[in-house]
């Protein structure tokens, strides 16, 4: 008798768990607003990528054309496939001291694997990811980018 009760209980529990699964898929079936697919070329104008999306490495500049990169070279050391090359120069500070500063932060987009080691290890948080993803160009040379803008300076207070 006990085994029969166990048998029936098993069936009821099995059906219950199957119904639970069907509830989830059924819920999504009747919720078209939960669809995550983007109709890309059509909605190109108002497509908003996610914050966490890794499009390409950029160096954010503020409105006074200042960045936070001190030219320490940690990103260059950490990059696993030599995507980043830093060309530094020495400048004279206001009080007449010599100081290392960045001349060119060269970023080769064609070699980047988007591992984010440069962004994570940067001590002054000078690098970030942009959500730009339309990278196709006709010339490979165009994929080599200089991240610091011409005439930009180190932001005050960043050492």
Partner 1 sequence: MFDFAPLTKWIDTVLHNAMSPFWAVVVEMLIVGVLILLFYALIGLFLVYAERKVCAFMQNRLGPNRVGPFGLFQTIADLVKLLLVELVPIRNADKFLFNLAPFIVITASFMAIAAIPFAKGLHAIDLNIGIFYVIAVSAMGVIGILLAGWASNNKYSLIGAMRSGAQIVSYELSVGLSLITMVILAGSMQLSVIVEGQATGWFIFKGHIPAFIAFIVFLVASTAETNRGPFDLAEAESELTAGYHTEYSGIKFAFFFLAEYMNMFIVASIAATVFLGGWMPFHVGNWDGFNAVMDFIPPFVWYIVKTFFVVFLMMWFKWTFPRLRIDQLLTLEWKYLLPINLVNVLIMAFIVLMGWHF
Binding site for partner 1 (CB under 8 A): 11, 18, 21-22, 24-26, 28-29, 32, 34-37, 39
d(CA 69, CA 46): 32
Is 12 or 136 the residue whose CB approaches partner 1 more closely?
12
Taken as a whole, the chain contains a residue count of 159
Q: Between 40 and 138, whose beta carbon lies closer to partner 1?
A: 40
**Least separation, in Å, of the C-beta of 51 and partner 1?**
20
- The alpha carbon of residue 83 and the mean position of all alpha carbons in its chain are separated, in whole angstroms, by 15
Whole-number minimum distance, CB 54 to partner 1, in Å?
Answer: 22
Residue closer to partner 1 (CB basis): 38 or 121: 38
Minimum Å distance from CB 45 to partner 1?
Answer: 19
Residue 48 corresponds to which tokens in the numbers above? 């908003």
For every residue of 28-67, DSSP letters joined together read HHT-GGG-----TTTTSTT----TT---EEE----TTSEE
């Amino acid at each position: 008798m006990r085994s029969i009760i166990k048998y029936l209980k098993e069936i009821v529990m099995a059906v219950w768990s199957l119904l639970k699964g069907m509830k989830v898929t059924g819920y999504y079936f009747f919720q078209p607003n939960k669809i995550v697919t983007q109709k890309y070329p059509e909605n190109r104008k108002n497509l908003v990528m996610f914050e966490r999306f890794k499009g390409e490495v950029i160096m954010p500049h503020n409105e006074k054309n200042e960045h936070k990169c001190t030219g320490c070279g940690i990103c260059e050391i950490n990059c696993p496939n030599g995507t980043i090359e830093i060309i530094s120069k020495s400048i004279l500070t206001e009080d007449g001291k010599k100081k290392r500063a960045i001349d060119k932060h060269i970023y080769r987009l064609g070699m980047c694997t988007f591992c984010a080691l440069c962004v994570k290890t940067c001590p002054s948080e000078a690098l970030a990811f942009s959500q730009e993803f339309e990278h196709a160009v006709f010339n490979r040379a165009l994929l080599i980018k200089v991240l610091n803008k011409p005439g930009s300076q180190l932001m005050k207070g960043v050492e």
